[in-house]
Amino acid sequence: MAGVTKRPKAEGETGAKVKDIDFRDFEKCCQMQCTQEEIAGWFEIDEETLVRRVTEHYNKSFSEVYKKYSAGGKCSLRRRQFRRAQNGDRVMMIWLGKQYLGQSEKIEQKVEQLDLSAIPDHEIEKLVRKYGKPKL
């Protein structure tokens, strides 16, 4: 089966059965931005085993391989988002505008200071007793 490799056991080696890794599935997991822990869990192997097997298969470090295939997933997602915006998805247009064009929803607030001079002192004292002194 293409894409699936099995590390051969050394003569006389004992221990757990060596698990197959379908590296096409590994690449798809990277494209979906799965974590190292999630990928190891998918293949039911230890994370250290995953790193070692990936390094053996690609002759590159795990991080180099992951970076390559996860970038493809990010590109694919971005392409689909832009396509949705180009097809008139208003929510996607707004979100992309905020992400890439620095757009934001402006909320205008008007603060007015109250003129308390028209309120009798005894009324202000009642409010202070009921609600406490205002925090400035």
Does a structural domain hold residue 88? yes
Does a structural domain hold residue 3? no
Q: List pLDDT tens digits, range 18-33.
A: 788 999 999 999 999 9
Does a structural domain hold residue 131? no
3-state SS class at 21: strand
Does a structural domain hold residue 112? no
Check the CA dihedral 40-45-47-49 and report its sign.
negative
82 class by beta-carbon count within 10 Å (0-12 exposed, 13-18 middle, 19+ buried): middle
Does a structural domain hold residue 75? yes
Q: List pLDDT tens digits, range 79-131.
A: 999 999 999 999 999 999 999 998 988 888 777 777 767 888 888 888 888 88
Taking the whole predicted model, whether its pTM rises above 0.75 is answered as no
Name, in order, each residue with C-beta under 8 angstroms of 37's C-beta and a sequence gap of 6 or more. Answer: 47
Q: Give me the amino acid identity at 41.
A: G
Domain count, the chain: 1
Does a structural domain hold residue 21? yes
Does a structural domain hold residue 9? no
Instruction: Identify the H or E element spanning 127.
Output: helix 121-131
Range of the domain at 58: 15-101
φ and ψ of 59, to 5 deg = 55, 35
